[in-house]
Chains A and B, each alone.
Chain A
Amino acid sequence: MTNPVVLEAKNLVKYFPTVSKGLLQRSTDSVKAVDGVSVQVRAGQTLGVVGESGCGKSTLARLLMRLLPPTSGTVLLDGADITSLTGRELRAVRAKIQMVFQDPVASLNPRHSVGQIIGTPLKFLKVKSATGAREHVQELMELVGLNPEHYNRYPHEFSGGQRQRIGIARALAVGPQVIVADEPVSALDVSIQAQVLNLMEKLQRDLGLSYVFIAHDLSVVRHIADEIIVMYLGKVVESGSPSDVYSTPSHPYTQALLSAIPVADPRAAASHKRTVLVGDVPSPIDPPSGCRFRTRCPRAQDLCALEEPALIDRGQGHPVACHFPG
């Protein structure tokens, strides 16, 4: 872990106000989508972000991308605070961080050709390319395994996997340092997931990219991540290297996520405590007091409702936000 930190977030908070209009009074509740998350992404490495649907992963991605303004907290790129940049300075940042989106259909404008789609960042971020824009786009298409002759085709003519490759090519167009990939393979068939993952790993090696790689299950990030954070209801509950998280999962939520993965290795299976998640994720508008996981936690005790567990190392060798890790 000697690589320098490229992208860092400190205590990011994002509350979405929910304006439920009563006849006379407006209640101002808020969805606590991200509630005090800190992350570090190191050069050439991958930060895996894992959690169930609705736990705030996409919101975190948008905060890192400066697509959403945070309620509080800071985002640092190469040590410089980028939290409130606008205009030209923000565009300079955009040339360094790009995003691959979750939905291979919705993330490509159906009325634009592939060439236009991949070329859009080049147009606005004024990145000098040695060759012309068209050649540059076609090189990118080749790089991600698309046929450059399909430059003038439209998104509906491509399969899900190919569309995600188009999204990756667009993200690569301006030669960024960091790519935030929001569940880039969740919408794809399992067989195609592996191909896209392999492509992303290869691109990382060849281009020295740093990734924030979001997934909703731990098996996907296992190979690609150098560092993993597990999120629950807007908070990080456990973080560490893949071996920390997989071999000595200490938060009951992480253990539950791991139990959900079919395990091939019987010894590993034995070492995992089987935890099955019961019930639904509580509303992020009104999360449980104390530990947010307590409504579904098999180990919950009185203390859990009273005091929120901090994300610290409690002798597990990596940080865990649980009063009773094990």
Chain B
Amino acid sequence: MTDVLPIDGIDGDSVVVASIESKSPKRLSWDRFKRDRFAIAGLGVVAFFLIIAIFAPLITKILGISPNALDRNSLNDYGLPNGRFGGISGKHWLGVEPGTGRDILARLIYGARLSLFVGLVATLITTSVGMMLGLVAGYLRGRVDTFLSRLSDLVMTFPSLILTIALVRPGTQRLEAMGVPEGNPARLTYLMLVTLFFGWVGFFRIVRGQTLALREREFVEAARSSGAGPGHIIFRQIAPNLWGPIIALASMSLPGYVAYEAALSFLGVGIISPTASWGIMLQDSVHYYRADPTYFFIPGATLFVLVMAFYLLSEGLRDALDPKNDRQQVA
């Protein structure tokens, strides 16, 4: 209210604008985001899981539980948990695994670690590669664009799940031959490579389309008149206008990858037991769903809550980062 200066009043139509506290686009987005209660709730849940994942060893230590320690005493003669609700007790807050007596809470906590790690890495690599190629194709057009677009069409036609499953054996063996440690490291590397191969396409298409539109905007011509080269124009002029859709899309695809890892582990091509993974827990629990429904419910519900939280978060981010809302908010 204090900085209405006559110099800005020259235009007559600017007084209102000048009297508002200055806000950058980032600040405006954050203000919008803060008002979205669902998104904030989503962010809270995601942050909670992240903290659990990062501090998994510490948390399990404090709670005095371990994901791999067998507790035969908690099982009855049939190998099923003693007591009701899957053996929930003061010692095992979420019960124990039938057959082994391993603590479910501890396995869930370690499983969060793996799920989020896989989700984050998969999102990071697919987003960055897709964005890079999309920017280059959209800005350079011509042959580079034709080649990359055809390639993306081709990748889209592959049946990704079938190929992922079919190639898991030769793929991991190949990686092991190349020196990747056997077992889960090779499996994870294989999964990330396959994910990258199939996953860049979605980001590529969106970024390419947006870049094609943005490169025609006059500010790009203004940058060229200013003597800027393609590097500056792609990364400094065009890319900053894409962070909104990219972040929204990335936060939307992350839960997909978390669920994907669970599904692959469930199908037996993901993580190998005894490492804890939500997918492995689900797979295992299916065998006991009549005798011990709690065991099935817990990892399923956890996965559902995390995926849901990510979707709420990404919805909120998409609205908050949409620059179309900037101007309205000022007015």
The answer to whether the Cβ of A153 comes within 8 Å of any Cβ in the partner chain is: yes
A62 CB contact (under 8 Å) in B5, B25, B217, B221: B221
Contacts of B28 in A (CB 8 A): 156
Within 8 A of A (CB), among B216-243: 217-219, 221-229, 232, 237, 240-241
Q: Are B13 and A121 in contact (CB under 8 A)?
A: no
Q: Are B227 and A91 in contact (CB under 8 A)?
A: yes
The answer to whether the Cβ of A147 comes within 8 Å of any Cβ in the partner chain is: yes
Q: Are B25 and A121 in contact (CB under 8 A)?
A: no
Q: Are A125 and B17 in contact (CB under 8 A)?
A: no
Contacts of B143 in A (CB 8 A): none
Contacts of A154 in B (CB 8 A): 23-25
Q: Are B11 and A124 in contact (CB under 8 A)?
A: no
Contacts of B12 in A (CB 8 A): 191-192
Give the residue name and chain of the B residue nearest to A103 (CB).
Answer: B218
Knowing A109-B240, A110-B326 are in contact, say whether A147-B8 is a contact too (CB < 8 A). yes
Cα A135 to Cα B7 in complex, Å, equals 18
Q: Are B222 and A170 in contact (CB under 8 A)?
A: yes
Q: Are B13 and A109 in contact (CB under 8 A)?
A: no
Chain A window 148-166, contacts with chain B (Cβ cutoff 8 Å), 1 for yes, 0 for no: 0110111011111110000
Cα A107 to Cα B214 in complex, Å, equals 11
Within 8 A of B (CB), among A84-123: 90-91, 94-95, 98-99, 101-103, 106-113, 120-121, 123
Within 8 A of A (CB), among B18-38: 18, 20, 22-25, 28
The answer to whether the Cβ of B76 comes within 8 Å of any Cβ in the partner chain is: no
Give the residue name and chain of the B residue nearest to A161 (CB).
Answer: B11
A152 vs chain B, min Cβ distance (A): 7
A162 CB contact (under 8 Å) in B11, B25, B224, B326: B11
Give the residue name and chain of the A residue nearest to B232 (CB).
Answer: A124
The answer to whether the Cβ of A27 comes within 8 Å of any Cβ in the partner chain is: no
Q: Are A120 and B223 in contact (CB under 8 A)?
A: yes
Q: Are B7 and A99 in contact (CB under 8 A)?
A: no
Q: Are B14 and A110 in contact (CB under 8 A)?
A: no
B240 vs chain A, min Cβ distance (A): 4
Knowing A107-B218, A147-B5, A154-B24 are in contact, say whether A159-B227 is a contact too (CB < 8 A). no
The answer to whether the Cβ of A282 comes within 8 Å of any Cβ in the partner chain is: no
A150 vs chain B, min Cβ distance (A): 7
Number of interface residues of B (CB under 8 A): 37
Q: Which interface residue of A90, A91, A120, A160 has the most chain B CB atoms within 10 A?
A: A120
A120 vs chain B, min Cβ distance (A): 5
Contact size class for A?
35 or more
Cα A192 to Cα B187 in complex, Å, equals 65
Knowing A120-B228, A158-B14 are in contact, say whether A146-B223 is a contact too (CB < 8 A). no
The answer to whether the Cβ of A290 comes within 8 Å of any Cβ in the partner chain is: no
Knowing A103-B218, A106-B219, A154-B25 are in contact, say whether A146-B8 is a contact too (CB < 8 A). yes
Q: Which interface residue of A91, A94, A109 has the most chain B CB atoms within 10 A?
A: A109
The answer to whether the Cβ of B58 comes within 8 Å of any Cβ in the partner chain is: no
A18 vs chain B, min Cβ distance (A): 16
The answer to whether the Cβ of B77 comes within 8 Å of any Cβ in the partner chain is: no
Contacts of A145 in B (CB 8 A): 7, 10
Cα A150 to Cα B226 in complex, Å, equals 22
The answer to whether the Cβ of A189 comes within 8 Å of any Cβ in the partner chain is: yes
The answer to whether the Cβ of B323 comes within 8 Å of any Cβ in the partner chain is: yes
The 5 closest A-B pairs by CB, nearest first: A124-B227, A111-B240, A107-B218, A161-B11, A121-B226
Other A-B pairs beyond A94-B226, A95-B227, A149-B5, 7, CB < 8 Å: A94-B227, A109-B241, A145-B7, A147-B18, A156-B28, A161-B13, A192-B12
Question: Can you identify 15 A-B contacts, CB atoms within 8 angstroms?
Answer: A99-B225, A101-B222, A107-B221, A121-B225, A121-B227, A125-B226, A146-B7, A147-B3, A152-B24, A153-B22, A156-B326, A158-B14, A170-B226, A192-B13, A195-B10
Hey, which bits of chain B sit against chain A, CB under 8 A? 3, 5, 7-8, 10-14, 17-18, 20, 22-25, 28, 217-219, 221-229, 232, 237, 240-241, 323, 326-327, 330
